[in-house]
C-alpha cells in the first residue's frame, strides 16, 4: 500500500564554493550568498526540482561543489535551516575560536 | 630525530608539484569534482562542514622547532590563526581554501612534511608513544621501527586501495601510552636476552564495532617485521570485506574469521613470502636507528636543587610539576607535558603564537624535539629539571601552563558537529562544560587520574570506547543525545567501556558525569584507588544506581 503523501517541506539549495570552500546558498537571482536567509525557498516538488537543476548547472560550471537541498523552517518572518547540522554549517562553530574568545 | 634524505625530499616535492597542477586543472574546470576528489583526498584535503580541512601527517608524533614554526606560519597565513592536534598525533587546519592548498603543501615540503596518506583506504600515519626515547619503563625506542614502517607503507603499490583505512601503532615497552591495541596492527618492540623482537597484534579498532587487537606473535624476529606486516596486509587486502563500509576494517575480518584461523592465514602467507626481499638492509637500518640516538644528555644529579626550591616557593609550579612532569630515564631530566586543555577551550587547539612559543621551548630546552600525543597535548620529551621553572614561566605567558595532565579536565574530544561533516552531535561544548564544572584544581586533584573521551559520532575519533568515562554523541530525532560508557581503557590493561544505560540530553550530560564522579569518590577505598580500579572492583551497578536512582521504576 502506498504511504500517504507527506506534506512537502520547503527546501533551499546549499553548496560550497569551489575555490574557497565557503558555505553558500543559492538565491532567486542565481547568485550564491553566505546567508541562508537570502536563499530561494522551494515550496513544492516542482520548485525543488527546478532549484536542484539550477544548482547542478553551477556544479557543472565549477562554481560550487557538494550541492544539497536542505529543509528550512520559518523563523522571525524568514527561513532558517531546519536541522542543527545545517544551522551550524551556515553560522559556523558554536564555540569561541582559539585566539578570538 | 629522523631527517629526510634526498629520496624523501624529492618524492615529497614532486608530489606537491603534481598537486599544484591538479588544483590548477580543477579550478579551471578541466577536472570535475568526481575526478578531483580522490586526488585531493590523497593529499589530505577534505571538504568538511564549513570549509576544506587539511590534515598534515606528523610521523609518530615527532616535530622539530623548524616544523613547528612552519605549522604556525600556515595557521596564520592560510587559516584562522590556529590548528587542531588530533588523536592520531597529526595536525588539522579547519579553514583552508582550495586555491591555497598547493602553496601550503609546498611550504610543508620545505620542512620535510606533507599530507600524504592522511586520508583514504591506505596505511595511515604510524603512531607511537609520545614518551618514546625518554620513559624509564621503555625497553626499546620504537621510533626507528616506526620510521621503517613509514618508509615501507608510503605509497606501497599493493596497499593503495585497501578495503578500508589501516592504522598502525608501535610502542617500546610494557606500558602502553599509544592505545596500541585499538589499532589495525599494534606492535610492541621487545628485547629478550639482548635480542630484539616484536609482539604483533592485529584486528583492533574502535568505531561502530570496537575490538581489542589479538596477539598473533609474541616475539617476531626483528628481521621479519616488514615481511610479517606485509603478510597481514595481504590477507586483509584479499579477504577483507568490500561490500559494507562498516564491516570493511580488519577487525571485522579477524572477528568473523576467528583469531586462530586468521593467524593461520597470516602464517601461511608469511611462509610463502620470499623474506629476503623484505629484510631491511642492515646499513640502512643502522642509519635510521642512529637518527634516533639519545640526545647528548648532561651528567646531572637525579635531584635538581633549583627545581626543588622553586616548586617549594611557587604553588602553581608545584601543581604543574605534580601532573605535567613525568620521570625521565636520564637523571636530572624530566618529560614535560604541555596541556592543550585549558579549562573552557577546545581540546587540542593551539594558536600560531602558542605553536611558535612551543617551537622556541623545544629548541632551547628539549634538544630540538617535541611530540604530539594522541591525547591531544604536546610533550617536550627531554627537559632538564633545572630548566623547568623557566619553561613554566614561558608556558604561563602563553596560556599553556594548565596543570591538568591526566586529570578529569584533560579531555580528549573529536571536532564533532562544530566542524566535522560526519558528526551527529557536538563534542567540544560537552568537553568545555565538563571542564568548567570541574575547574577547581583541588577538586581535580582529589579525583585523581581520570580519562574522559568524547566522540561526536560512532566513528570514535575521540576514542570514547577506551575512556574511563566515554561519551558518544548521537542524533535522536534531531536532538543531540549522549551515551555514556564506563570502564574503558586504552593502555596495557585494554578494555572497551560498557554502555551504562539510557543516554542523556545535551543539558544533562555534565550533571551525569558529575554524578558518576561523585559516586566514585564515595565508593573508593582510598584516594589511591583510581576511578578505573574502583570501577573494575565494583562493576557498573553502583554507578547505574547513582545515575538512574531518581527515575520511577
The DSSP annotation for B183-195 comes to SSEEEEEEEETTE
Per CB-CB distance under 8 Å, the chain A contacts of B429 are 94-95
Same fold, B6-110 and B412-548: no
Local structure of residue B123 (DSSP, 8 states)? B
Local structure of residue B432 (DSSP, 8 states)? H
SS (H, E, C) B195-216: EEEEEEEECCECCCCCECCEEE
**Strand order across the beta sheet in which B214-221 lies:** B127-128, B168-171, B185-192, B195-202, B214-221
Choices 1.10.1040.10, 3.30.2010.10, 3.40.50.280, 3.30.413.10: CATH for B412-548: 3.30.413.10
Q: Does B52 touch chain A (CB under 8 A)?
A: yes
The count of CB pairs under 8 A between chains A and B is 78
Instruction: ipTM value, please give it.
Output: 0.93
Question: Superfamily for B134-291?
Answer: Sulfite Reductase Hemoprotein, domain 1 (3.30.413.10)
Of A61, A88, A101, the CB nearest to B418: A88
Look at residue B553 in the predicted model and tell me its pLDDT.
47
Is the CB of B417 less than 8 angstroms away from the CB of A84?
yes
Of A16, A83, A94, the CB nearest to B418: A94
DSSP E strands in B427-511: the ranges are 452-455, 469-476, 479-486, 498-499, 504-505
Do β-strands A32-33 and B479-486 pair in parallel, antiparallel, or remain unpaired?
unpaired
Q: What does A19-60 look like in DSSP terms, one character per residue?
A: TT--EEEE-TTS-EESSGGGSPPB-SHHHHHHHHHHHHHHHH
- Distance, C-alpha B7 to centroid of its chain: 27
Residue A101, pLDDT above cutoff 60: no
Tracing cell 634526498 back to the chain, one arrives at B6
Q: Which of B89, B94, B60 is nearest to B74 (CA)?
A: B94
Q: Which residue has the higher pLDDT, B553 or A65?
A: A65
pLDDT band of A1, cuts 50, 70, 90: low
Q: How many CB atoms lie within 10 A of CB B243?
A: 7
Residue A76, pLDDT above cutoff 90: no
Look at residue A6 in the predicted model and tell me its pLDDT.
73
DSSP E strands in B251-373: the ranges are 325-327, 333-338, 349-351, 370-372
Per CB-CB distance under 8 Å, the chain A contacts of B346 are 95, 98
Q: How many CB atoms lie within 10 A of CB B552?
A: 3
Q: Kindly indicate whether the domain formed by B6-110 is annotated with CATH number 3.60.15.10.
A: no
Please compute the mean of the pLDDT values over residues A18-38 and round it to a whole number. 97
Q: pLDDT tens string for chain B (553 positions)?
A: 788 888 899 999 999 999 999 999 999 999 999 999 999 999 999 999 999 999 999 999 999 999 999 999 999 999 999 999 999 999 999 999 999 999 999 999 999 999 999 999 999 999 999 999 999 999 999 999 999 999 999 999 999 999 999 999 999 999 999 999 999 999 999 999 999 999 999 999 999 999 999 999 999 999 999 999 999 999 999 999 999 999 999 999 999 999 999 999 999 999 999 999 999 888 888 899 999 999 999 999 999 999 999 999 999 999 999 999 999 999 999 999 999 999 999 999 999 999 999 999 999 999 999 999 999 999 999 999 999 999 999 999 999 999 999 999 999 999 999 999 999 999 999 999 999 999 999 999 999 999 999 999 999 999 999 999 999 999 999 999 999 999 999 999 999 999 999 999 999 999 999 999 999 999 999 999 999 999 999 999 999 999 998 655 4
Domains of chain B, residue spans:
6-110, 134-291, 305-397, 412-548
Q: Does B427 touch chain A (CB under 8 A)?
A: no
Cell of B51: 570549509
Of A20, A88, A98, the CB nearest to B82: A98
Q: Does A34 touch chain B (CB under 8 A)?
A: no
Which A-chain residues 54-93 have CB contacts (< 8 A) with chain B?
59, 61-62, 65-66, 83-85, 88-89, 92-93
d(CA A93, nearest CA chain B) in Å = 5
For residue B437, which phi and psi values (nearest 5 degrees)?
-65, -35
Per CB-CB distance under 8 Å, the chain A contacts of B349 are 98
Please compute the mean of the pLDDT values over residues A49-59 and round it to a whole number. 98
Contacts of B259 (CB under 8 A, 6+ apart): B203, B214
d(CA A9, nearest CA chain B) in Å = 15
Is the CB of B29 less than 8 angstroms away from the CB of A97?
no
Q: How many CB atoms lie within 10 A of CB B439?
A: 13
Is the CB of A20 less than 8 angstroms away from the CB of B99?
yes
Cell of A74: 520559518
> For B45, which residue in chain A has the nearest alpha carbon?
A21
Distance CA B175, CA B139 (A): 10
Look at residue B497 in the predicted model and tell me its pLDDT.
98
> In the Cβ-directed half-sphere of B523, how many Cα atoms lie within 13 Å?
22
CATH of domain B305-397: 3.90.480.20
Distance CA B130, CA B133 (A): 9
Look at residue B443 in the predicted model and tell me its pLDDT.
98
Residue A55, pLDDT above cutoff 50: yes
Amino acid at each position: 500500500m502506498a504511504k500517504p503523501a507527506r506534506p512537502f517541506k520547503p527546501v533551499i539549495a546549499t553548496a560550497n564554493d569551489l575555490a574557497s570552500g565557503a558555505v553558500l546558498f543559492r538565491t532567486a537571482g542565481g547568485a550564491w550568498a553566505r546567508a541562508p536567509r537570502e536563499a530561494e525557498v522551494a515550496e513544492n516538488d516542482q520548485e525543488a526540482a527546478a532549484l536542484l537543476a539550477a544548482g547542478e548547472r553551477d556544479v557543472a560550471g565549477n562554481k560550487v561543489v557538494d550541492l544539497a537541498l536542505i529543509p528550512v523552517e520559518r523563523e522571525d518572518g524568514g527561513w532558517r535551516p531546519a536541522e542543527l547540522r545545517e544551522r551550524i554549517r551556515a553560522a559556523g562553530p558554536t564555540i569561541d575560536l582559539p585566539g578570538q574568545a | 630525530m629522523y631527517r629526510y634524505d634526498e629520496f624523501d625530499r624529492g618524492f615529497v616535492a614532486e608530489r606537491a608539484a603534481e598537486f599544484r597542477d591538479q588544483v590548477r586543472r580543477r579550478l579551471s574546470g578541466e577536472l570535475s569534482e568526481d575526478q578531483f576528489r580522490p586526488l585531493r583526498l590523497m593529499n589530505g584535503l577534505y571538504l568538511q562542514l564549513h570549509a576544506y580541512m587539511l590534515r598534515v601527517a606528523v610521523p609518530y608524533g615527532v616535530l622539530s622547532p623548524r616544523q613547528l614554526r612552519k605549522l604556525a606560519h600556515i595557521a596564520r597565513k592560510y587559516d584562522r590563526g590556529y590548528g587542531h592536534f588530533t588523536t592520531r598525533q597529526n595536525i588539522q587546519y579547519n579553514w583552508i581554501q582550495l586555491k591555497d592548498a598547493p602553496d601550503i603543501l609546498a611550504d610543508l615540503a620545505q620542512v620535510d612534511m606533507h599530507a600524504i596518506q592522511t586520508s583514504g583506504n591506505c596505511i595511515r600515519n604510524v603512531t607511537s608513544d609520545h614518551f618514546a626515547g625518554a620513559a624509564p619503563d621503555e625497553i626499546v625506542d620504537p621510533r626507528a621501527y616506526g620510521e621503517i614502517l613509514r618508509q615501507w607503507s608510503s605509497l606501497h603499490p599493493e596497499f593503495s586501495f585497501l578495503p578500508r583505512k589501516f592504522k598502525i601503532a608501535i610502542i617500546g615497552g610494557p606500558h602502553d601510552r599509544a592505545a596500541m591495541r585499538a589499532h589495525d596492527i599494534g606492535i610492541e618492540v621487545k628485547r629478550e636476552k639482548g635480542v630484539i623482537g616484536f609482539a604483533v597484534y592485529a584486528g583492533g579498532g574502535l568505531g561502530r564495532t570496537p575490538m581489542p587487537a589479538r596477539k598473533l606473535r609474541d616475539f617476531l624476529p626483528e628481521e621479519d617485521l616488514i615481511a610479517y606486516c606485509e603478510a597481514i596486509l595481504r590477507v586483509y587486502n584479499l579477504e577483507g570485506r568490500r561490500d559494507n563500509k562498516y564491516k570493511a576494517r580488519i577487525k571485522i575480518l579477524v572477528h568473523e574469521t576467528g583469531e586462530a584461523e586468521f593467524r593461520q592465514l597470516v602464517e601461511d602467507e608469511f611462509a610463502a613470502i620470499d623474506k629476503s626481499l623484505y629484510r631491511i638492509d642492515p646499513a640502512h637500518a643502522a642509519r635510521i636507528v642512529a637518527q634516533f640516538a639519545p640526545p647528548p644528555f648532561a651528567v646531572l644529579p637525579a635531584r635538581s636543587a633549583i627545581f626543588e626550591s622553586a616548586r617549594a616557593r611557587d604553588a602553581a609550579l608545584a601543581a604543574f610539576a605534580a601532573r605535567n612532569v613525568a620521570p625521565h630515564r636520564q637523571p636530572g631530566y624530566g618529560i614535560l607535558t604541555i596541556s592543550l586543555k585549558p579549562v573552557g577551550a577546545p581540546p587540542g587547539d593551539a594558536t600560531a603564537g602558542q605553536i611558535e612559543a612551543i617551537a622556541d621551548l623545544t629548541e632551547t630546552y628539549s634538544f630540538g624535539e617535541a611530540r604530539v600525543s594522541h591525547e591531544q597535548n604536546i610533550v617536550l620529551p627531554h627537559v632538564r629539571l633545572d630548566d623547568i621553572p623557566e619553561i613554566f614561566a614561558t608556558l604561563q605567558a602563553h596560556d599553556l601552563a594548565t596543570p591538568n595532565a591526566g586529570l578529569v579536565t584533560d579531555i580528549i574530544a573529536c571536532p564533532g558537529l562544530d566542524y566535522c561533516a560526519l558528526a551527529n552531535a557536538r563534542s567540544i561544548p560537552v568537553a568545555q562544560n565538563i571542564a568548567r564544572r570541574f575547574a577547581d584544581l583541588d577538586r581535580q586533584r582529589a579525583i585523581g587520574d581520570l580519562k574522559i573521551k568524547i566522540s561526536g559520532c560512532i566513528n570514535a575519533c575521540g576514542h570514547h570506547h577506551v575512556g574511563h568515562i566515554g561519551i558518544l554523541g548521537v542524533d535522536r530525532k534531531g536532538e543531540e543525545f549522549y551515551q555514556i560508557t564506563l570502564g574503558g581503557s586504552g593502555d596495557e590493561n585494554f578494555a572497551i567501556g560498557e554502555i551504562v544505560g539510557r543516554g542523556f540530553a545535551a543539558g544533562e550530560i555534565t550533571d551525569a558525569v558529575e554524578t558518576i564522579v561523585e559516586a566514585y569518590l564515595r565508593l573508593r577505598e582510598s584516594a589511591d584507588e583510581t576511578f578505573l580500579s574502583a570501577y573494575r572492583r565494583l562493576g557498573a551497578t553502583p554507578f547505574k544506581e547513582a545515575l538512574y536512582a531518581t527515575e520511577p521504576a
